[in-house]
């Protein structure tokens, strides 16, 4: 959806143009262009499935026609028309890499806690894994879902850490749980052989 294809946006722009009829032509065109740019970016972020409710929300965040006109007269047009709220933007690629690396380090550090739960009772481990999956899923929803409330920046930062941490912790725990029985059997077999050897040596 674009401002041209949305009747709500078209009506908003027409009202704004009428509201600015007495303003100098250059300033009026600047404001209208800034509003169109803002709406283009906001609706593009919502994607092709944006409906009238989404458009109304974007227009409400922008402000009424009177508020935009008053901002122009006060010389504060540009800040209200900023295309993307700073706190809604995701972290830069370099920051994402650092966050993922931090999550990869935190995961194995959290694995001993999960192992302690597994040794106490297997149900505790299952519950911990389900809880971790739910937390990661909820964080991902708040970070990237189209209808999730804003701001999203802090949720995207948390997701970049939690997802690799949860994955590495889960893999570490599963590997440990899988290998423990073989270690126990090997130690038990080794002890039997040694005892048998002692018995054979003491028999004569």
pLDDT digits (tens, 9 = 90+) for 144-162: 886 666 667 788 889 999 9
36: DSSP letter: H
**Max avg pLDDT among 55-59, 137-141, 171-175:** 137-141
pLDDT confidence of residue 83: 45
Place of tokens 């409710």: 53
151: DSSP letter: P
pLDDT tier at 137, thresholds 50, 70, 90: very high
Question: What whole-number distance in Å separates Cα of residue 52 and Cα of residue 7?
Answer: 9
Average pLDDT over residues 12-41: 84
| Mean pLDDT of the residues in the chain | 74
**What are 28-34's contacts with CB under 8 Å, separation 24+?**
30/77, 31/68, 31/69, 31/72, 31/77, 34/77, 34/78, 34/81
CA 36 to chain centre: 28
CA distances from 146 to 2, 7, 73, 166 (A): 16, 22, 34, 24
Dig out the tokens for 82 from the structure.
């900023």
CA 116 to chain centre: 29
pLDDT tier at 180, thresholds 50, 70, 90: low
């Amino acid at each position: 959806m674009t401002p041209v294809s949305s009747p709500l946006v078209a009506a908003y722009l027409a009202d704004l143009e009428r509201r600015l009829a007495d303003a100098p032509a250059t300033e009026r065109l600047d404001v209208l262009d800034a509003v169109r740019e803002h709406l283009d970016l906001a609706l593009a972020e919502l994607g092709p499935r944006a409906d009238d409710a989404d458009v109304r929300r974007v227009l409400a965040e922008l402000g009424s026609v009177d508020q935009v006109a008053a901002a122009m007269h006060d010389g504060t047009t540009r800040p209200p028309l900023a295309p993307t709220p700073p706190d809604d933007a995701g972290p830069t690629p370099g920051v994402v890499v650092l966050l993922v690396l931090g999550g990869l380090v935190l995961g194995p550090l959290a694995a001993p806690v999960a192992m302690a739960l597994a040794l106490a009772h297997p149900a505790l481990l299952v519950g911990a894994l389900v809880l971790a999956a739910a937390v990661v899923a909820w964080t991902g929803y708040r970070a990237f879902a189209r209808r999730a409330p804003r701001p999203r920046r802090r949720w995207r930062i948390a997701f970049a850490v939690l997802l690799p941490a949860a994955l590495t912790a889960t893999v570490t725990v599963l590997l440990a749980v899988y290998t423990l029985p073989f270690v126990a059997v090997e130690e038990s077999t080794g002890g039997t052989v040694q005892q048998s050897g002692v018995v054979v040596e003491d028999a004569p």
